[in-house]
Structure 1
Amino acid sequence: MDSTTDHTLERKTAFKRLRRRLRSLYFGSHPVAIRFQIAMALLDIAIIGFFIASPHLGRGNVFLVIDYGIALLIAFELAARAIIAPNLRYWAARGMTWVDLIILATLLFPTLLSSFAFLRFLRIWVLGQSKLLKLLLLRAGYGRIEDVVQACVNLLTFLFLVTGFVYTTFYGREPKITNFIDALYFTVATVTTTGFGDVTLPGTLGKITSIITMIFGISLFVRLAQAVVRPYKVVHPCPQCALQRHDTDAVHCKACGHILNIPDDGD
């Protein structure tokens, strides 16, 4: 009985050490953690590059090795995030978890789910949500433009998602969509409402795709413009009413009048 208890304690202790180590890698700011986070960012870029190059790789051995290799890495990351999460319910409720699950499914079943491969571009959004990006902006002295960068990431994610959908759905159906650049050209022309008309999508699905692209694209452009021209406000939750953003020189909260103690950039 004592032996069984000892083994159980050892497993719990080992699990706690593993959890602390993973938390340190994912959320830390020390050199090892930064290198790890950069490696994960490179993985995101590799997934995007793999999707763009997929039509030129065929479905041979090289394609399958890369495909399942990336799938294995994403599976490990999903497991790691489950370990560092407070509980499994929290892990399952996160949007990033479902993004990775969808991407993992497209990698495990590349032929069956090829129509959904464009969802791999959601990794751009995942990259934009990472602590690494915020940390690099702060260290470079560009913390003030975090909102602008986030708006750019959201717009870029949308552009590549639509481009991927157009590329996946209309490649071979529309003669003028012959490669990824053609699909990107159509997306940018539609989002900006330039509408050159030299590349159009056929049928009802094509019209619906164009309508959705214009509506959401314009909304994201407006959001980006707002982030650029909006006066900079520091994130400092008011202890009284929890208002998040205040002027950098604010002494009192504009919502409730509570005295604030906003630290200077040099603090």
Structure 2
Amino acid sequence: MTGAGIAAARSSTADLAKIVTQVDDAQWELPSACDGWRVIDVVAHLAALASEAVDPPPPDPALPKNRERYHDVRVDERRRWSHADVLDEWRRSSPRQLDLLEAAQEPPGAGEPVEVPGLGTYPRHLLANTMAFNVFCHLRDDMLAPDGPLPYTLPEPVDGQIAPAVEFMLAGLPQMQGPELTATVNGPIVLDLTGPGATTVTILPATEPTGQLTVAPGADATVQVHSTALDFIAWATTRKRWRDYCSITGDASAVTPFLDCLNII
């Protein structure tokens, strides 16, 4: 189970709640660091995710299959809403989402596989890490300075906030881009993440033509990518250039295609 995931989701949601009270109407309209979204649109995205978690809409085949475009559609639906209405939805739905995710930590349902359209399949308990990742990343990388427009600060993030977000990212890495990313890995690659949230894993190539990459614990390759775990959240989502935050030991040509392609949503 991942009690750490729900704790991280609650912690980052509490951080966002503190920031929300400081933002004025003009600041809500500023462009965020998430391309095409204003600051208020970032909250609208998180509110939409929360509302769908607590009251899932019926399947709609007309909606985009691409997960990023799907999120754009949900944000666009809220663009005409007032700031107050967006914030009300977020304040109403996020606590209920957190409670549902906490309940999902308990057996027998915790290990049940759940498909997240466009992102892969995860054990139900790991969905808490998904929320931890989303809130942390959007708040700290898209809304707050230095990359976002809001001139407010939070305490430095700690292991308990970063590690669960990274855990979700590594679980999603083999699934989100499918064959596109799989084709870039022809031999094992070590991903060595340091600092708060530290972990070391080896990314193994697919063993069958239609198979997926595998992420295994530990270091089992001479080709290694070194970064802090905090920076990984930014560059592995393409918010930052990996070349500015990573060092490579071993054959750089063996890992560059993978790093150029990686884009965790």
> TM-score under structure 1 normalisation?
0.22
For the pair shown, the structure with the greater C-alpha radius of gyration is 1
Give the helix-richer structure, 1 or 2.
1
Which has a greater percent of strand? 2
